[in-house]
A and B are shown apart, each in its own frame.
Chain A
Amino acid sequence: MIEVKKLVKRFGLKSILRGLDFSVQSGEFVALLGPNGAGKTTFLRILATLSRPSLGQVKVAGHYLPQEAAQVRAKLGVVSHMPLLYPDLTAEENLQFYARMYGIEGMDARITEVLGMVGLEHRRKDLIRTFSRGMQQRLAIGRAVIHDPEVMLFDEPYTGLDQDASEMLDDVLRSVAAEGRTVVMTSHDLARAEDLATRFDILSRGVITASATRADLKQTNLLSFYKQSLED
């Protein structure tokens, strides 16, 4: 689903990504872990078509980036730590806007479906500015799946959420992943990642330094694996 070879991203003279190799099979849920400044967000923005690679090959959902960005966008859902919603519009209007931008047929039925999935049917006609952070973040996921994307990218989706909101978000993320989508998520929160992901990749200083599947972690826990990979 995602194939990245020798990816380099430079900002001026600074190399953020230095020859990163990464690949994700269809249906995998990969947690991308690493310290601040390792390049997680930069990497995700490249996969999301928002940033261009400086060098290397990037293929998402069968299309090369940046040449075929338009095709990739149609198959991609992105959730970042900002909800990308308009505060002066209702939940429904926000989803309608994005549905139009993705050219979705049968918009109303799909919106009802999505609102049900993220548990916000009862807030359909309410303005986003009245939503709590957690509700906004759930609706952001609804926005990101409105066009039924094959690949989903989550960039620190738990930022600023309290315990309850995080747990509700867990459920939504699980149901999104359960529909056979391929997911890549960056997170600081190892416990959340451990619950959700099927594979754990460590990104440090612009390259993937270690990778382990859930099965590999049987003997050890994620925290010690994480610490060990960063020490090497």
Chain B
Amino acid sequence: MQPRPIALKILDFVSVILLAISTYLALFFAPTELVMGEVQRVFYFHIGTAWVGLLGFVIAAIAGIAYLVTKNMLWDRFELAAVEVSTVFFFITIALGSIWARPAWNTWWTWDPRLTTAAITELIYVAYFMLRQGIEEPEKRARFGAVYTLLGGISAPITFMVIRLFRSIHPVVIGAANASQEKMSMTSDMKTAFFFALFAFTVIFIDMIWHRLRLSSLEEKVEQLKLNSLM
């Protein structure tokens, strides 16, 4: 097995440090929010993971298009890596959102546009994994995967628009709840923690994509060795 490249080792190290600092900033440095209290502190990680989650899905759709145009399998691996990492981050986002919602809005789940779209987006990418799993042939898997991420990437924002429209006309029990989030004004210390979390998660995201890409190429080597031994 090849050793990890030096740059990746450094990035791993940086990621861990950044995560630690970001945790410190979120839990101790940022002041307690007046209305929502301590629980608001999940907000920093909630936004951090949501940001890279969305970023990954956008990257996946772009990588999908790039694959369809160039037919280079590297793009397929990139797309898969982005979707896999983002699906995990997005799951954390939804879980953290739920934890936040419980004391803030007195419910684990609200059918607010953002949460609902997040859940549907997550389902789209779970469907993506099932689709890939059902196809043996790598090129076909790559083509179908690319087409599906493209459809998902277009459908998700439209879903968001439709749900917002739907909900604004049919007010729900806690319809006004997310207004507090939008109005939440941040002090400069909060902003520091907020932007640092965005930065930290972006670096962690890059680190994980890198690992996933490396895993893919190792997988391919194993496949190749198996084939060679059969010959």
Contacts and interface: CB of A to CB of B under 8 A. Distances in A.
Q: Please say whether the chains A and B touch (CB closer than 8 A).
A: yes
Name the residue in A11, A13, A14 with the highest tally of chain B Cβ atoms < 10 Å from its Cβ: A13
Name the residue in A11, A12, A14 with the highest tally of chain B Cβ atoms < 10 Å from its Cβ: A12
B222 to A, nearest CB: 10
B136 to A, nearest CB: 8
Contacts, number: 13
B69 to A, nearest CB: 15
B220 interface: yes
B145 to A, nearest CB: 14
B67 to A, nearest CB: 15
Contacts of A11: 137-139
Interface string A1-20: 00000000001111000000
Contacts of B224: 13
A204 to B, nearest CB: 14
Interface residues of B, number: 7
B223 interface: yes
A13 B227 contact: yes
Nearest to B73: A12
A13 B138 CA distance: 9
Nearest to B226: A13
A13 B220 contact: yes
B195 to A, nearest CB: 43
Contacts of A12: 137-139, 223
Nearest to B138: A12
Interface string B199-231: 000000000000000000000100110010000
Nearest to A15: B227
Nearest to A14: B227
A13 B223 contact: yes
Contacts of A14: 227
A14 B228 CA distance: 10
Contacts of B138: 11-13
A14 B136 CA distance: 12
Nearest to B227: A13
A13 B219 CA distance: 12
Interface in A137-183: none
Contacts of A13: 138, 220, 223-224, 227
A12 B227 CA distance: 11
A49 to B, nearest CB: 17
A223 B224 CA distance: 36
Contacts of B137: 11-12
A114 B30 CA distance: 83
Contacts of B223: 12-13
A132 B150 CA distance: 45
A38 to B, nearest CB: 15
A104 to B, nearest CB: 33
A123 B70 CA distance: 50
A14 B227 CA distance: 8
Nearest to A54: B139
A28 B138 CA distance: 36
11 contacts: A11-B137, A11-B138, A12-B137, A12-B139, A12-B223, A13-B138, A13-B220, A13-B223, A13-B224, A13-B227, A14-B227
Interface of B: 137-139, 220, 223-224, 227
Given A11-B138, A12-B139, A13-B227, 7 more contacts: A11-B137, A11-B139, A12-B137, A12-B223, A13-B220, A13-B223, A13-B224
Which 10 A-B pairs give the minimum distances between C-beta atoms? Answer: A12-B138, A11-B137, A13-B223, A13-B224, A13-B227, A14-B227, A12-B137, A13-B220, A11-B139, A12-B139
